[in-house]
A and B are shown apart, each in its own frame.
Chain A
Amino acid sequence: MGAYGQKTLTEEQLDSIENQWNKVLDEVVVTGTRTPKLVTNSPILTRVISSSDIRKSDATNISDLLQTELPGIEFSYSMNQQVSLNMQGFGGNSVLFLVDGERLAGETLDNVDYDRLNLNNAGKIEIVKGAASSLYGSNAVGGVVNIISREVSEPWTLNINGRYGKHNSQRYGAVFSVNKWKINSSTSAQFTSIDSYNMKNEGDYSTYYGNKTWNINERLTIKPINALKIIARAGYFFRERNSQVSTHDRYRDFSGGLRGVYEFSPGTNLELSYSFDQYDKSDYILLTRKDVRDYSNVQNIGKVVFNHTFGGNYILTVGGDVMRDYLMSYQFTANGSHHQITADGFAQIDMTFNKLNVIAGGRYDYFSESDMKHFSSRVNMMYNLDRFKIRGSYAGGFRAPTLKEMYMNFDMASIFMIYGNPDLKPEVSNNFQLSGEYTNGLLNANLGAFCNLVENRMTTVWNQALGGMEYSNIGRVNIVGIDANVAWRTQWGLGTRLSYVFTHEHVKKGEPYTSSTRPHTATLRVDYSHQWKNYGLMVALSGRALSNVTVDEFTSLTSYEETERVKYPGYTMWKLNVTNSIWRGIDLIVTVDNLFNYVPKYNYSSTPSTTGISFNVGLSMNIDSMCKRK
């Protein structure tokens, strides 16, 4: 949407629809291989949410966007309205979120702070489903989501945007970029807020907690010589949540980084980078006006990656990372702290033999605190038959026990203790995928099957001897499913995309089915865009459908003998977005969320926190377009 700093369509950008479509298929992706590859030629199936898709979704944050665009993804609440992800059977700690390839510090109940991933200056989002630990190490068990910042080539751009909606929800953003001499600077700022509101019906919670966020980022790119690119970045994030009358939860992040890329020859380069990320949590007590920090995760990461293209069809990638991970937490004894060093080395070879493309790679990870070593590997193959492409892959994934899982010593409101376990083994997954893709003119379709064999999942289990919950490895979990996607676009501006995912968690006969993963989910988008001489129109209808799920839940915390069956209802949620490009660079955006006025009869933590249909109005102004002479 214009409200994200996207450019309004100008005449020179209005290429033919076919060219635009080809651009989608020719999108360059980096997440699957760490080297630029055309999405259509990548053996690693990568879904791209383009800037155009982001524009059509009018989403403020990543959770809203991903749920709108992808089936198999559900953001719900865990305790205390903390946001919790389920991506095709994997939780938030098993899906790795990256911003421009850098991981994020901090978590709450196993999930990173998704509000940090604002879309104000996002160029695109790449999603690789399945394991990817051979490139990214721990946490890349169920998938990788990489938010890639927008790069601007114009001499300067300035976008200012705002949006207002139900419950006094407000969003204001600005992105300023300038290209001068050999320097490119991009500065973005966004503020969002929403009031607390009461749910219409009873449920697991009765009030949605209002909140406000600030996101400020600067990225400076300098090219002192053609072969060398240096990128410096800094960011600040602040979120305050009105969780209680007497206290507000505060979340802050300070990030920075320096990256240098030296190009020896086309396709051969060396990258060195340093990254800093500090995520803090504090409680602001309104009664005493004190802001006391009780959590801080600080990650310092050094990285080196070397890519070498040789023989025309071979790309070698080798690299390594060293990270110092520091964690101070209220969940440790006496609000103490722990730290550890992690180190890894990886190598990958990308080979093309006529119509066959093969990628093979491996990575060795070491974690000092647990003295744990782990090797991950992958093999991806794609057979290219012009319109048909067949992809098959094996990928290993793992998740190392975190400092929290090793050392927690937390009194849960005098009800029970939660203990860490230094002897945890890593969670390991073996991921197999097979898919076929067909492209013909303006039609693109793919159908795939996946199988994830997960061992040693880490979770809290009642320990009778300790008289409390303890982090433990539990047995094997097998997740299988089907992923289908059809996208079609006409010459005259109409486009549609339908996606469907079936997910099934296999349990042995007679054992309780405790997974809350919904078996069937689908998303649909139908959009139309047209540019007249002085007016542009874009209309997008997006919907998602989630089936119900029946879960066997244990009736007691301390005994795993009895279960009760709970059915969580399915639902559909629709959004209509109308963007009117009314004058040079000015967009007026009207969005209707929850178009068919869905109001949950009971507010489970997995039902959307909605009180019904909501209308939102936004305005986006590209000042640079307004200043340009016609």
Chain B
Amino acid sequence: MGLLSACNGILDGIYDEPDNENNTGFENEGEIFIDATSYTQWVYIDFSERSTVTLGYDEDAPQNWDIAVHRYDVKTNGAKVVETNYSDFDQAITATIDEADLVSDIWTTNQIVIDMSTMMDGYLGYTESSYNPELSKWLNVDTSTMPPIYTPSGKVYIVYLPDGTRAGVKLLNFMNDMQVKGYMTIQYMYPFNH
């Protein structure tokens, strides 16, 4: 057995084991881990209920939800969002926000990619959707080179929900331990008050 394991390599112990493959949802306090790897699905997040639900892009949204994530794209359920200059929740919570800086969703026809398979033929498949450009700044993806260059903003975003409450959101990671992109770890605080 020892001989066989040497044939398959030595010093396994210097590496970390991937262990966050299946623990999606509101597992850790103040964190959400979701599988948003699919190009054809949205992951809907409800902060007050601490719940997530994954639905196809062509399916109706659930009754209650606050934000939804598709790969790195984000849309909101009628909310407005602002990017703060802070990476820390304790500082962001004290930030003075100018209402004029709040950004609502926009309607897009060339943002939400549902089919990558035609890329090498020079075009992509999109679906029409609402899209929040402010919250989607949480990760910049530069596709001018292959592979793309991923740059997280590291900033805290404040989501002003239609019911008057606020949520603080920050993207901690955009991949799982095996480096599969689209597994999103989101730090959140709700309600986002002093």
Residues in chain A within 8 A of chain B (CB atoms): 79-80, 204-207, 244-247, 254, 276, 278, 280, 282-283, 285, 287-288, 290-294, 296, 298, 300, 324, 326, 328, 330, 335, 337, 339, 413-416, 556-558
Contacts and interface: CB of A to CB of B under 8 A. Distances in A.
15 contacts: A79-B147, A205-B145, A206-B144, A245-B152, A247-B175, A254-B10, A254-B11, A292-B18, A294-B178, A298-B7, A298-B9, A339-B7, A416-B120, A556-B121, A556-B122
Interface in B58-94: none
A282 B15 contact: yes
Contacts of A335: 178
Closest 9 pairs between A and B when the two form their complex, measured CB to CB: A557-B120, A414-B116, A293-B15, A290-B16, A298-B9, A287-B173, A283-B179, A415-B119, A415-B116
A558 B150 contact: no
B179 A413 contact: no
Nearest to B147: A80
A557 B118 CA distance: 9
Contacts of B151: 245
A556 B146 CA distance: 17
Contacts of B147: 79-80, 413
B128 to A, nearest CB: 20
A292 B174 CA distance: 16
Contacts of A556: 120-122
B172 interface: yes
B117 interface: yes
Interface string B85-109: 0000000000000000000000000
Interface in B1-56: 6-12, 14-18, 39
Q: Which of A247, A290, A337 has the most CB of B within 10 A?
A: A290
A330 B177 CA distance: 12
Nearest to A284: B16
B154 to A, nearest CB: 10
Contact of B173 (A205, A285, A326, A413): A285
B120 A415 contact: yes
B39 A278 contact: no
Contacts of A413: 116, 147
A557 B121 contact: yes
Nearest to B144: A206
Nearest to A330: B178
A558 B120 contact: yes
Nearest to A244: B150
Nearest to B181: A413
A335 B117 CA distance: 22
B156 to A, nearest CB: 16
B27 to A, nearest CB: 14
A303 B8 CA distance: 19
A278 B10 contact: yes
Nearest to A288: B173
A282 B179 CA distance: 10
Contacts of B152: 245-246, 287
A294 B7 CA distance: 17
Given A245-B149, A290-B177, A298-B9, 11 more contacts: A79-B147, A245-B150, A245-B151, A246-B150, A246-B173, A246-B174, A288-B177, A292-B18, A294-B178, A328-B9, A416-B117
A173 B16 CA distance: 30
Nearest to A296: B9
Nearest to B148: A413
Contacts of A414: 39, 116-117
B1 to A, nearest CB: 15
Interface string B119-163: 111100000000000000000000011110111100000000000
A400 B147 CA distance: 29
A558 B178 contact: no
A572 to B, nearest CB: 27
A373 to B, nearest CB: 23
A245 to B, nearest CB: 5
B145 A204 contact: yes
B8 to A, nearest CB: 5
A326 B5 CA distance: 11
A282 B178 CA distance: 9
B178 A291 contact: no
A328 B9 CA distance: 10
Contact of A298 (B8, B116, B177): B8
A293 B15 CA distance: 6
Nearest to B145: A205
Contacts of A416: 117, 120
Nearest to B8: A326
B39 to A, nearest CB: 6
B81 to A, nearest CB: 22
A411 to B, nearest CB: 9
Q: Which of B10, B120, B175 has the most CB of A within 10 A?
A: B120
Contacts of B145: 204-206
Nearest to B182: A414
Given A296-B9, A414-B39, A558 B121 contact: yes
A291 B9 contact: no
A300 B7 contact: yes
Contacts of A204: 145
Contacts of A326: 7-9
Contacts of B122: 556
Nearest to A555: B122
A120 to B, nearest CB: 23
Contacts of A278: 9-10
Contacts of B179: 247, 283, 285, 292, 294
Contacts of A557: 120-121
B10 A291 contact: no
A509 to B, nearest CB: 28
B96 to A, nearest CB: 29
B45 to A, nearest CB: 20
B122 to A, nearest CB: 8
Contacts of B149: 207, 244-245
Contacts of A328: 8-9
Nearest to B19: A290
A517 B8 CA distance: 37
Contacts of A244: 149-150
A79 B173 CA distance: 24
Contact of A291 (B15, B39, B121, B146): B15
B125 to A, nearest CB: 11
Contacts of B10: 254, 278
Contacts of B173: 246, 285, 287-288
